[in-house]
Amino acid sequence: MKQNIYDNPTFFEGYMNLRDSKMTYNDFLEQPAMKDTLPDLKGKRVMDLGCGTGGMSKYCIEMGASAVVGVDISEKMISRALVENKDENITYVCSPIEDLSFQKEPFDLIVSSLAIHYIEDYEFLIRKLHSFLKPGGLLIYSTEHPVVTARKDMKNWWQNAEGDRLHWALDHYREEGKREQHWYVDGVIKYHRTITTLVNGLTDHGFMLEKMLEPLPTKEGIDLIPSLKNEERRPSFLIIRSRKTD
Amino acid sequence: MKQNIYDNPTFFEGYMNLRDSKMTYNDFLEQPAMKDTLPDLKGKRVMDLGCGTGGMSKYCIEMGASAVVGVDISEKMISRALVENKDENITYVCSPIEDLSFQKEPFDLIVSSLAIHYIEDYEFLIRKLHSFLKPGGLLIYSTEHPVVTARKDMKNWWQNAEGDRLHWALDHYREEGKREQHWYVDGVIKYHRTITTLVNGLTDHGFMLEKMLEPLPTKEGIDLIPSLKNEERRPSFLIIRSRKTD
């Protein structure tokens, strides 16, 4: 099943309000770390997988990329991208990642922010992305951290009577697969995978792992969103940079 | 500080009783997975780091290794190794890993079972091991999983009134460094490191990551030690196989 929760009107409204607030974990945690992980983009061809409203696609152009193809399953997201981050060197494509097949010219870089946990078949995805890259090309993705997605019950932290967080809960780590949660609407589906599945899926299919990051928030972020301090206690995201070797 | 807890008489007695029972997590979880991860050993020169009583050193000889150097900080362990797993092609060396400096002939493989979490300076260790390996040589180690070592309080699981385990506790993940626990004696010290520190310490210092494993127990193990079922819920160990590239 290819989930297109972003075209659900209730979800879309909730998500866009959050995003427009510029007060999200993406703004102060995931996006700064992803940007730090990018290579020199001058003259590079980039694919932005799960591009949403096109912020990362536009950023790559600003950093010198010669062409970006932004891909998203959601028509609502692509419509917004065409308004907010239109650029003559960006082509936005509305398609499930799984169905992509064009790629006349292979890419130097595929970047993907918090999208792969929506994809059911990771190995199929990695094989496909491998075929889209030039030899030596980079794949850089962020995903919800496996320690976050593991537990089936979404109650993930414990507190005492004073409201202090005592610890986070971990469980069901090896039970990979669907996790359903309420996020603006019921039934948002993510796929939990272990760290070893994420890593070996790359090293077994023609990628060399270059770096892993469990990002920490920016100082500005902690001032604005105090809960970001908790990233010291349990990481929300995992970023993996890998390179096509054969 | 180089910890030598294994020479503490109380610790040694407790540990040896456990080990001699052949009813440990090592027997049914960590050791089978480590052995599965080994390459063809025929004619290979192997270093066994934190060799304890020499079980893995002997196994490598049985699998065809031409020579093994077993290293352990504990005199008591090395004495036992010389009784239990003596072999004309195994040299046992009693030394802290940090102080090793001989290596006239470099190794094809360094293997290390559940020892590196006792070492304070991981980067120094990796640089040293890199210098001990031939080009293309393998480093395979197991360590306590970062999700296990992270929380400072050693109470790591929660249960309900009926005694069912509800979840495991995770906390302090980014606070790397000393963790003190009671294991036969007070003050056993391990060092917590994040997954990204473990991985980047390799990829930043001339190793290519080939595989990561979060081992599951053998069927026999689950029959004998029912608590091993919990490995499905939270992994105890992490195994990393990496190759020297330059």
Please tell me the least confidently modeled range out of A1-5, A176-180, B38-42, B125-129: A1-5
Beta-carbon contacts below 8 Å between A and B? 104
CB contact under 8 A, A170 and B175: no
> Looking at residues B222-242, what average pLDDT do you find?
95
Per-residue confidence band for B146, with pLDDT thresholds at 50, 70 and 90: very high
Distance in Å from the first CA to the final CA of chain B:
30
Q: What is the pLDDT of residue A158?
A: 86
Domains contained in chain B, CATH given:
5-244 (3.40.50.150)
Residues of A in contact with B173 (CB under 8 A): 147, 214, 232-235
Q: What is the pLDDT of residue B118?
A: 92
**Nearest-by-Cβ selection for A167 from B171, B209, B216:** B171
Q: What is the pLDDT of residue B11?
A: 76
Residues of B in contact with A234 (CB under 8 A): 170-171, 173
**Nearest-by-Cβ selection for A233 from B171, B196, B232:** B171
Per-residue confidence band for A2, with pLDDT thresholds at 50, 70 and 90: confident
Q: Is A167 on the interface with B (CB under 8 A)?
A: yes
**Nearest-by-Cβ selection for B173 from A158, A196, A234:** A234
What gap in Å lies between CA A174 and CA B233, rounded to an integer?
6
Q: CA of B238 to nearest chain A CA: how many angstroms apart?
A: 9
Per-residue confidence band for A1, with pLDDT thresholds at 50, 70 and 90: low
**Nearest-by-Cβ selection for A170 from B196, B212, B234:** B234
Q: What is the pLDDT of residue A108?
A: 97
Q: Report the DSSP beta bridge partners of residue A170.
A: B168
> Looking at residues B104-129, what average pLDDT do you find?
94
Q: Best of A196, A200, A211, A240 to disrupt the B interface by mutation (most B CBs within 10 Å)? A: A196
Find, among A215, A210, A203, the residue nearest to A242 by Cα: A210
Q: What is the pLDDT of residue A98?
A: 84
CB contact under 8 A, A234 and B171: yes
Q: CA of A126 to nearest chain B CA: how many angstroms apart?
A: 16
Q: Give A170: exposed, middle or buried? Use CB within 10 Å, 0-12, 13-18, 19+.
A: buried
Does the structure show a pLDDT above 90 at B14?
no
The answer to whether the beta carbons of residues A57 and A51 sit under 8 Å apart is: yes
Q: Is B7 on the interface with A (CB under 8 A)?
A: no
How do residues B65-81 score in pLDDT, each as one tens digit?
999 999 999 999 999 99
Residue B82, number of CB atoms within 10 A of its CB: 15
What gap in Å lies between CA A9 and CA A77, rounded to an integer?
11
Find, among B81, B46, B73, B78, the residue nearest to B62 by Cα: B46
Per-residue confidence band for B62, with pLDDT thresholds at 50, 70 and 90: very high
Residues of A in contact with B234 (CB under 8 A): 170-171, 173
Residues of B in contact with A175 (CB under 8 A): 232
What gap in Å lies between CA B9 and CA B2, rounded to an integer?
17
How do residues A35-91 score in pLDDT, each as one tens digit?
999 999 999 999 999 999 999 999 999 999 999 999 999 999 999 999 999 999 999
CB contact under 8 A, B234 and A173: yes
CB contact under 8 A, A214 and B196: yes
Q: What are the structure tokens assigned to A201, written together?
A: 């899926």
